[in-house]
């Protein structure tokens, strides 16, 4: 007689990264790190950029951490100026910071905002697996859902225009940055 084991959801450990604003290095929970090409504290959060040499399509990653909104905004600059740009991604995050470090915990749920069309929820399967596998604490899961749904509603109020949404939040800087 053969017994079958229970198959569970595959879960990813929670993703945490730390930006050291003094040394200009972003460290990941995986053990990797990136030297930042730019790192600026803004009244609304933190603006960083670093090269992505391993990515055949992307030259660099631009990230804005917006702790008051519980969001990280990311885009990739294409290697070719003729390439189609990828959607911007708003990810629900928990941000903790001190004078030198910004620690971001990814809450595994977000929105892809392609520009010119409706934003859509992304990473929902990963989020569900993390909740089922208890990788995400119930408070973090609740925060992720509330943040993503609030943001999706706000975006729909401005016709899914990311620049208008940022302006509505008092962020007047250009996105994507030049």
Answer yes or no: is 55 within a domain.
Answer: yes
Q: Is residue 116 part of a domain?
A: yes
Q: Does the residue 95 lie in any domain?
A: yes
The closest of 12, 148, 158 to 89, measured between CA atoms, is 148
pTM of the model: 0.89
89 lies in a domain?
yes
Asked whether residue 177 is assigned to any structural domain, the reply reads: no
DSSP 176: S
Question: With b meaning 16 or more CB within 10 Å and e meaning fewer, what string describes 98-133?
Answer: eeeebebbbbbbbbbbeeeeebeebbeebbbbbbee
101: in domain? yes
Q: How is residue 5 annotated by DSSP?
A: P
Residue 84 lies in a domain: yes
How many CB atoms sit inside 10 A of residue 41's CB?
12
Residue 5 domain-assigned (yes or no): no
Least Cα distance to 105 among 81, 73, 72 occurs for 72
Total domains, the chain: 1
| Predicted confidence (pLDDT) per residue in 10-56, tens digit | 445 678 999 999 999 999 999 999 999 999 999 999 999 999 999 98
The CATH code of the domain that includes 88 is 2.40.380.10
- Domain of residue 115 covers 16-169
Q: How buried is residue 73: exposed, middle or buried, by Cβ count under 10 Å (0-12/13-18/19+)?
A: buried
The string of pLDDT tens digits covering residues 105-148 is 999 999 999 987 899 999 999 999 999 999 999 999 999 999 99
Judge contact between 127 and 108, C-beta under 8 A.
Answer: yes
What b/e string do you get for 4-15 counting C-beta neighbours within 10 Å, with b at 16 or more? eeeeeeebeebb
pLDDT in tens, 157-173: 999 999 999 999 999 99
């Amino acid at each position: 007689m053969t017994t079958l084991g229970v198959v569970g959801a595959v879960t990813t450990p929670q993703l945490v990264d730390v930006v050291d604003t003094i040394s200009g290095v972003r460290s990941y929970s995986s053990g990797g790190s990136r030297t930042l090409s730019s790192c600026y504290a803004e009244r609304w959060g933190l603006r960083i950029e670093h090269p992505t040499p391993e990515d055949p399509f992307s030259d660099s990653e631009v990230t804005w951490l917006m702790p008051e909104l519980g969001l990280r905004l990311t885009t990739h600059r294409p290697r070719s100026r003729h390439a189609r740009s990828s959607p911007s991604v708003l990810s629900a995050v928990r941000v903790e910071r001190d004078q030198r470090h910004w620690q971001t915990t990814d809450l595994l749920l977000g929105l892809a905002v392609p520009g010119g069309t409706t934003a859509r929820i992304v990473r929902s399967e990963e989020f569900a697996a993390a909740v089922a596998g208890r990788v995400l604490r119930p408070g973090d899961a609740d925060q992720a859902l509330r943040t993503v749904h609030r943001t999706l509603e706000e975006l729909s109020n401005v016709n899914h225009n990311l620049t208008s949404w940022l302006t509505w939040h008092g962020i007047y800087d250009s996105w994507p940055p030049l």
